[in-house]
């Protein structure tokens, strides 16, 4: 099986990037892609596009597509096993899922993570969720990436942090879906983000927790073509 490597899987295409102009309020699609197959898709509202930095808004109630075990296969016991088997077999179905926490996603080009700022229903800052993922690749109104299972949750005041989904990350490594080189890179990236949070460096020192969406925006919806996967150049 061809293993997933950060540098060759989803490299940014600078030619496409220069042609892509995204404006605040516009809906774009974040696709997760595994070996050319669509693994997940969510609509988000573009907040800020600085070329090498994107901020995108995914409010609570946004309907997205997530993978699940197809009805023709037995359903395994844990989420980690179910996800790993679907990836191994390249066999899953996409179902609707309603996003349950309003989230602003801050992503730097080339980074193996995105920092998600989340809020409770009462508007209180819930915390910082560091989503480890393959570096984003931009295409027409689409950002492609792939989740790498492991996450870090950092308290709003950055005084403490905790791992999330270490078990799912380990299953993916045990099944050779994530190779050791990538796993090491993910751990190093996580450690660096934790260090930045504790040193109060960007984006953790920025005013993002006080950011508010434009009240006219509402919920983003998946546009036509949300399931079209642009092939990367070989």
Site string for Mg ion, 148-167 (x = CB under 5 A): ---x-------------x--
Tokens matching residue 206: 């920025």
Which residue lies nearer to Mg ion by CB, 38 or 146? 146
Tracing tokens 């844990």 back to the chain, one arrives at: 78
CB 113 within 8 Å of CB 129: no
Which residue lies nearer to Mg ion by CB, 32 or 151? 151
Which residue lies nearer to Mg ion by CB, 165 or 189? 165
Alpha-carbon torsion (205, 145, 126, 183), positive or negative: negative
CB of 132 to Mg ion, least distance (A): 8
**Interatomic CA distance for residues 79 and 168, integer angstroms:** 7
Residue nearest to Mg ion (CB): 165
CB of 24 to Mg ion, least distance (A): 28
32 binds Mg ion (CB under 5 A): no
Which residue lies nearer to Mg ion by CB, 56 or 139? 56
The size of the interface with Mg ion (CB under 5 A), counted in residues, is 2
Classify the phi-psi angles of 159: left when phi > 0, otherwise alpha if psi is within -120 to 50, otherwise beta: alpha
Tokens matching residue 87: 């990836």
CB of 13 to Mg ion, least distance (A): 26
Between strands 147-154 and 161-164, the pairing is antiparallel
CB of 75 to Mg ion, least distance (A): 19
Q: Is 153 exposed, middle or buried (0-12, 13-18, 19+ CB in 10 A)?
A: middle
CB 169 within 8 Å of CB 190: no
Stretch 62-121 residues interacting with Mg ion (CB under 5 A)? none
CB of 10 to Mg ion, least distance (A): 18
Which residue lies nearer to Mg ion by CB, 49 or 151? 151
**Which residues in this chain contact Mg ion in the complex, by CB under 5 A?**
151, 165
């Amino acid at each position: 099986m061809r293993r997933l490597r950060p540098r060759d899987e989803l490299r940014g295409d600078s030619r496409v990037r220069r042609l892509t102009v995204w404006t605040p309020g516009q809906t774009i699609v974040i696709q997760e892609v595994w070996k050319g197959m669509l693994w997940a898709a969510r609509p988000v509202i573009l907040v800020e596009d600085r070329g090498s930095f994107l901020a995108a808004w995914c409010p609570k109630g946004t309907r997205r597509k997530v993978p699940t075990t197809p009805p023709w296969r037995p359903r395994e016991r844990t989420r980690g096993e179910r996800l790993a088997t679907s990836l191994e077999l390249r066999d899953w179905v996409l179902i609707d899922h309603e996003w349950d926490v309003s989230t602003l996603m801050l992503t730097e080009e080339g980074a193996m993570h995105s920092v998600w700022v989340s809020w409770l229903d009462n508007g209180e800052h819930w915390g910082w969720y560091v989503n480890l993922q393959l570096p984003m690749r931009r295409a027409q109104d689409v950002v492609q990436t792939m989740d790498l299972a492991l996450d870090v949750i950092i308290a709003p005041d950055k005084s403490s942090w905790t791992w999330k989904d270490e078990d799912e990350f380990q299953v993916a490594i045990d099944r050779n879906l994530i190779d050791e080189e990538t796993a090491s890179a993910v751990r190093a990236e996580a450690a660096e983000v934790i260090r930045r949070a504790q040193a109060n460096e960007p984006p953790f020192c920025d005013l993002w927790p006080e950011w508010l969406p434009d009240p006219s925006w509402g919920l983003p919806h998946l546009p036509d073509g949300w399931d079209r996967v642009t092939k990367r150049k070989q």
